Amino acid sequence: MTHQQLTSAGKPPVTPVRQLTVYFSNSRRGARLARQLAVQQFTEWTGLPYDADPARAVALITAELASNAVRHGSLPGRDFRLTLRLLPAGFRVEVTDTQPERLPPPVIAEPIDDETSGRGLLLVEAYADCWGCTAPDSCTKTVWAEVCLRTPDA
């Protein structure tokens, strides 16, 4: 698993097989709906069941990225954007918010045992095959993560 702190150049573009972009309200409900939509699209596009490991990874990753956008990356009255991409070898989740100056840390520290938060990006790191952040302009940032669909022997 890799984490990439990227500039506007970002990761080399991969032409998606399918793509969907939806805006959600800056709320816990918006984050929950984003997670539900991501899993629904994942299962529809890949044909994998809801309880497959990759679908669970997509659910967890989307929940963490969307809740981070709501909690740390939004301005009052501004929505966050969820983009889902089915790639030739994987599934990419992108969450775009309106706080480009609040980038994820380049190194994720282990949280202190009694803290009740601070584990979200550790989970993204554990479940994503790769993830990172781009700041395409001065008004937004996108945190993305990819889940590979190939088996290790492929």
User: What pLDDT does 78 receive?
Assistant: 79
Can you count the helices (H) and strands (E) in the chain?
Answer: 3, 6
Confidence band of 1 (pLDDT split at 50, 70, 90): very low
Domain ranges in the chain? 2-109+117-148
Strand order in the sheet with 80-86: 2-5, 130-134, 141-148, 90-97, 80-86, 18-24
The structure's pTM equals 0.81
Average pLDDT, the chain: 83
Q: What is the pLDDT of residues 26-79, one digit of tens each?
A: 999 999 999 999 999 999 999 999 999 999 999 999 999 999 999 876 667 678
Superfamily of domain 2-109+117-148 in CATH is Histidine kinase-like ATPase, C-terminal domain (3.30.565.10)
